[in-house]
Amino acid sequence: MASVRKRLVPAVVIAACASLALTTAPAAAGQLAVGDAPAGPRLAKKLVRQVHVGNINRHLIAFQRFSDRNGGNRAAGSAGYNESADYIERKLQAAGYEVNRHEFDFTYTETLAERLTAGGGDVPIIAMTYSPSTPDGGTTAPLAAIPPDDTPGCEASDFGDVTGKIALIQRGICSFAQKGIAAAEAGAVGAIVYNNVAGPVNGTLGGPENASIPIGGITKADGEALIGQDGSDVTLEIRTLTEERTTHNVIAETQTGRKDNVVMAGAHLDSVDDGAGINDNGTGSAALLETALKLGGSPRVNNSVRFAWWGAEELGLVGSTRYVQSLDFEQQLNISMYLNFDMIGSPNAGYFAYDGDDSAGTGAGPGPYGSAQIEEKFVGFLGSRGIEVEDTDFSGRSDYGEFIEVGIPAGGLFTGAEVAKTPEQAAKWGGLAGVAFDPCYHQSCDHLGNVDRMALDRNADAMAWTIGSYGISTEEVNGVPPFQAKSKKATAEQRAHQRVATVQVAEGSDPHSHTS
């Protein structure tokens, strides 16, 4: 999962295939059909039964080994990423999918140094992705603690004159890039963002075009302690390597189902440079792969299902953004929805669904029409298993961002990242209060030991249920009903009419003649 919001030829060109007609409509959003077992839930139930956490875990083991033998990560453009993508492609091709690579260029960045010294001691700091570099050895300058307001550090006027100083800014409201740009406009030579909740700040500027001054993130506790050193000299050293590279998304689509009402589901495949990324986002990628394999390349669906494994998500949602932008309006219109799965097995797991209707009333607001119905589908399934689900905002930290931007309804699941679990959440879901949902978020310890496999199993079931249901009908999301087979009565009437017409023609009377 990336840490901040972001606003080719077409990636997939697949020949249309005839859709298979099914006779019944899907269950209502979030409901499990028991008695009449309509077609949608029948497929969905089958997928839920067949998608086993043991097989998902086998894919995670493969990702771990690809990381271990390739420098300890699966970052975009790396050998570890390429082996992960090749593994997915081979399995999908064997399952009968149309598989394509969507290549794109991206700006690779790697942290070479991240150090903050204040008051004679070192303060842990994490360089923002795409941060410019300080000189070797760092920049020493007076600290300027910026008093937080309703929009802390979002406008240059928040800073006053900080010429030649290093600004200390509270996290919140606007992007890290905007805070850095505002600080630079006010004259700062560096910026430090401290968290507004417990835990570190591990952020990105979203792209090299947003780079202004060297900037890094620290914890809330460290930031509040630094406020007392306002005016004292501090040394900030952030150095990064930046270069242009090429990588690719993996796109696979069923050969059956209508191509003008595609159900699309995705997960980012890349890790950060610091680790194997087994929870972030091996869990989403592996569960999506297993769901695709069990669905198969030619399932009995009304709507084609398109799966995506995104590259360079950790560098600012690059792969998914480039993919959506590569589609013209009609190709975007063919996508009925986008379902996102990013971190679904966090070790101190929570259960979150993207807030499609903005019922929580916080952050970015609702998604495009249909997003609320998608949310209810996930909430209803997990609720049927006795799991209470909380809202999570469309904060722009994952690959749904560009889909929402062009009006495609979206939804998905999430088990939490660097934010600490509250006592109320621990009482509801278990786990440890005051500890991050994923204490190893974006760290080298995000390995096979960093996964709650019960949470992964539950979320994979919800994934399978939702994809299977929408493969039959998206009517609740966009009003497009499933194809209906003709009833026996209608078929008999049509055949009788054809027999009468045949007799009339044989007797020399044309039933369609305008002169007799």
Which residues are catalytically annotated? 313
Residue 313's nearest CA partner among 241, 366, 247 is 247
Q: What is the DSSP string of 64-78?
A: HHHHHTTTT--BTTS
Look at strands 303-310 and 258-268 and give their pairing.
parallel
Where do we find the tokens 């950790």?
A: 314
Q: What is the DSSP string of 146-198?
A: PPP-SSTT-SGGGT---TT-EEEEE--SS-HHHHHHHHHHTT-SEEEEE-SSS
CA 503 to chain CA centroid, nearest Å: 61
Cβ within 8 Å of residue 277, ≥6 positions away: 63, 67, 73, 74, 270, 271, 446
Q: What is the DSSP string of 54-105?
A: HHHHHHHHHHHHHHHTTTT--BTTSHHHHHHHHHHHHHHHHTT-EEEEEEEE
For the chain, the distance separating the N- and C-terminal CA atoms, rounded to the nearest angstrom, is: 73
**What three-state secondary structure class fits 315?**
helix
Q: Which pair of tokens denotes residue 429?
A: 């879901």
Q: How far is CA 487 from CA 25, 39, 289, 506, in A?
A: 14, 15, 37, 29
Distance CA 62, CA 65 (A): 5
Q: Which pair of tokens denotes residue 454?
A: 């019960």
**What three-state secondary structure class fits 221?**
helix
Residue 213's nearest CA partner among 227, 228, 195, 192 is 192
Residue 220's nearest CA partner among 257, 169, 176 is 169
Q: Check if the beta carbon of residue 415 is closer than 8 Å to that of residue 345.
A: yes
Distance CA 271, CA 80 (A): 9
Q: State the virtual CA torsion across 161, 166, 171, 177 in degrees, nearest 10.
A: 90
Give CA angle at 417 (414, 420), nearest 5°.
Answer: 115
Q: Check if the beta carbon of residue 215 is closer than 8 Å to that of residue 287.
A: no
Residue 429's nearest CA partner among 461, 462, 385, 465 is 385
